[in-house]
Amino acid sequence: MASRSDPLGSPRKAPPAAAGAGSAPGSASKSQPQKALEKLGLRRDIDLALHLPLRYEDETRITRLADARDGDMVQIEGQVTHSEVTFRPRRQLRVTLDDGSDTCVLRFINFYPSHQKTLSVGARVRVRGELRGGFVGREMVHPAFRAAGGELATALTPVYPTVAGLPQAYLRKAVLSGLARADLTETLPEKISSKNLPQPLSSMREALSFLHQPTPDVLLATLEDRSHPAWQRLKAEELLAQQLSQLQARRVRAAMRAPALAAPLMRGTQCTLHDQLLERLPFRLTAAQQRVGAEIDADLKKNLPMHRLLQGDVGSGKTVVAALAAARCMDAGWQCALMAPTEILAEQHFRKLIGWLEPLGIQTAWLTGSQKAKERREALAMIESGAAGLVVGTHAVIQDKVIFKNLALAIIDEQHRFGVAQRLALRSKMTQGGEEPHLLMMTATPIPRTLAMSYYADLDVSTIDELPPGRTPIVTKVVAEARRDEVVERIRGQIAQGRQVYWVCPLIEESEAIDLTNATQTHEALTAALPGTQVGLLHSRMPTAEKKAVMSLFTSGQLGVLVSTTVIEVGVDVSNASLMVIEHAERFGLSQLHQLRGRVGRGAAASACVLLYSTGEAPRLGETARARLKAMAETQDGFEIARRDLEIRGPGEFLGARQSGAPLLRFADLATDTALLAWARSLAPVMLDKHAELAHRHILRWLGGKAEFLKA
């Protein structure tokens, strides 16, 4: 696909002096392209060498006009038979070119006298551009051109991804000189480099040189689908770098120490906190909860820092597993911290945990950005003295002023909502003798297996793959906005049965104001439509105290319906709620929809989720929105949802949203490059053990300074 927006090395945006050729690096305009290079992240030679072409142009041959088809990128040579400046529809230079087989028109909106001179009648010129079927015949708009004759290129011409202010010609030169200078000495150990691969790997220098300047005989399709051996080498390199860095991070962690949290020996009938908590729970743990609990216990007993992700679908009961881990930690005489991304979520955990732990004599401290100074001072004192065994809060937990007496376990709920830096900060809260705290991260958005294998090789994963018994499946309906009245009728039905309803309003990220209007209008409309029912409103602009008040009215059952704009408050737990309506569901991401739906179906009552969609001005729903809603209607399994989400969005975006800072794969594709991934996985430990120097150089080449992030 030829993009019209990138400057094809044509004179379209170049200054007069540069007609026909790009301005060279080192000219007066040097600083702007230099800045643009930085903006693209092209600082080191290796970065330039790895900046690969979007596509290629063929300047190795001259095509006869009669042989070219509309839409082709071609180079032709011929004589100018006509040249004029016209003013309709706007000022432009129109030139007719005859190559003996046919004619075509060249059109220039921006042109200088020097252009006109080169393109004057009788001149023989070589032009290159996209041939289009025009109004009055075939034409090229703003082709690159120069005098005819001269040598033909011997390699295809690369066209690079670029930004404004960085002409192709400049970028091309920069890339080629970066490539020439880059250290591409072999980092793959000689004997094993191609073992278990379908084809031997070429050298990295060969591969990159080829990708930047392929010989004209190459099958372009093998470059496009990245199956060419040069691509294979590049992808193998990239996957290896990723596996090496993950494994290295894992080994760095294995060299660190954490307090071993073995339970103290108990005498007589006195029982551990852990067992007392277990005994007092109003339910029995599911088999899955017991299994992950045992996995966590085994980690905590070791003097290696745990680095475990607890994944379990919404409602699968992660909180109680976290509470049991906290009890283990306190049994051993250490402190535990639990951090959640929003205040409502943190407070919910706090209430639940004090309900479970206070009767057992545990003091819990509460930390949040919005609390009063006095309250905060008291909490800080309890944390520092060790009086508080458990600390629950928001980001406030990781502030500098918070000093733990002896933190040994950090639990992070909805871990993907926190950045790498925040996780590192929480870990650094442990100060004793160079030890690290154990880390338990929880998520309701499971990671598909292929991603877990590659991105999270440095993470142990525990999975709760079963819901507590007695839950009835949630029926999901996708309903057009036009049928809103029927939905309101449905709400009436639920209210009549003493149930409660969530109504989530559209998320328009650009405009909180519009969000608010929508929610307010819906709130008014529902209040009018449901006389005798209390309808509450919750939105992101409300002060925290007010939000809490509304939330507690809903929790206590005084509100029948809760209209909310805040999709952030995932995790709220009101088991009497049996209907979830999501307005403009087409605007939400798949995992968000799944999380929202998980707010219902928490009790034994039959629950439903209505996805109201609107096509707005458009005649029908967009393709990805349709795919998302379809997935929601078809499955309730969080793992399946995650798999489809990955399919719809691709791994880059999927992970990008989860974990800022993690280097993503630029070249390899986990779905198709499974053989290369397996190769990289098996090679990584061998390289670290036997070829440490090569491994180090390899990681540096690919990750530069970013490797730090992998430790979080």
Positions in the binding site for Mg ion (CB under 5 A): 571
Binder among 6, 98, 573, 669 for ligand ADP (CB under 6 A):
573
Output the smallest distance, CB 326 to ligand ADP, in A: 13
Closest CA to 564 of 514, 500, 505: 505
Q: Compare residues 20 and 312 and give the one whose CB is closer to ligand ADP.
A: 312
Q: Is 126 in the site for ligand ADP (CB under 6 A)?
A: no
Beta carbons of 418 and 341 less than 8 angstroms apart:
yes
Q: Is 452 helix (H, G, I), strand (E, B) or coil?
A: helix
Q: How many residues bind ligand ADP (CB under 6 A)?
A: 18
Q: For residue 644, give the amino acid letter.
A: R
Return the residue of 129, 158, 305, 312 that touches ligand ADP, per CB under 6 A. Answer: 312
Tokens 């309903």 map to which residue? 479
Q: Does 317 bind ligand ADP (CB under 6 A)?
A: yes
**φ and ψ at residue 358, rounded to 5 degrees:** -60, -40
Using a CB cutoff of 8 Å and minimum separation of 24, what contacts does 268-272 make? 272/327, 272/328, 272/331
Residue 183 near residue 46 (C-beta atoms within 8 A): yes
Q: Toward Mg ion, which CB reaches closer, 392 or 670?
A: 392
Site string for ligand ADP, 231-270 (x = CB under 6 A): ----------------------------------------
Q: And the tokens for 118? A: 């080169």
What's phi and psi for 622, nearest 5 deg?
-65, 160
Segments of 54-196 assigned E as strands: 55-57, 73-86, 92-98, 103-108, 124-130, 132-133, 138-141, 144-147, 157-159
Two tokens at 103? Answer: 């004619």
Site string for ligand ADP, 438-467 (x = CB under 6 A): ------x-----------------------
Nearer Cβ to Mg ion (127/320): 320
- Using CB under 6 A as the binding rule, the residues of this chain from 276 to 295 that contact ligand ADP are 283-286, 289
Of the pair 603, 656, the CB lying nearest ligand ADP is at 603
Cα 6 to Cα 34: distance, rounded to the nearest angstrom: 18
255: Cβ contacts below 8 Å, ≥ 6 apart: none
Contact track, ligand ADP, 585-604, x by CB under 6 A: -----------------x--
Nearer to Mg ion, 75 or 311 (CB): 311
124 binds, among ligand ADP, Mg ion, none (CB under 5 to 8 A by kind): none
Beta carbons within 10 angstroms of residue 221's beta carbon: 9
In angstroms, rounded to a whole number, what is the distance separating the alpha carbons of residues 541 and 111? Answer: 53
By a kind-dependent CB cut-off of 5 to 8 A, residue 298 interacts, out of ligand ADP, Mg ion, none, with: none
Q: What is the DSSP string of 518-549?
A: HHHHHHHHHHHHSTTS-EEEE-TTS-HHHHHH
When binding is defined by CB under 6 A, the residue of 74, 166, 240, 314 that contacts ligand ADP is 314
Residue 491: CB minimum distance to ligand ADP, A: 23
Residue among 279 and 693 whose Cβ is closer to ligand ADP: 279
Does 315 contact ligand ADP by CB under 6 A? yes
Closest distance of CB 604 from ligand ADP, Å: 10
Burial class (CB in 10 A: 0-12, 13-18, 19+), 623: exposed
Shortest Cβ 322–Mg ion spacing (Å): 9
Determine the interface stretch with ligand ADP among 4-12, 30-38, 166-174, 309-317 (rule: CB under 6 A): 309-317
Shortest distance, position 601 Cβ to ligand ADP, whole Å: 10
Shortest spacing between CB 482 and ligand ADP, in angstroms: 33
Which of 273, 288, 274, 328 shows the shortest CA–CA distance to 306? 328
Per partner kind, with CB cut-offs from 5 to 8 A, the member of Mg ion, ligand ADP, none near residue 573 is: ligand ADP
Is 354 near ligand ADP (CB under 6 A)? Answer: no
* Residues at the site binding ligand ADP, with contacts judged by CB under 6 A: 283-286, 289, 312, 314-320, 444, 468, 573, 575, 602
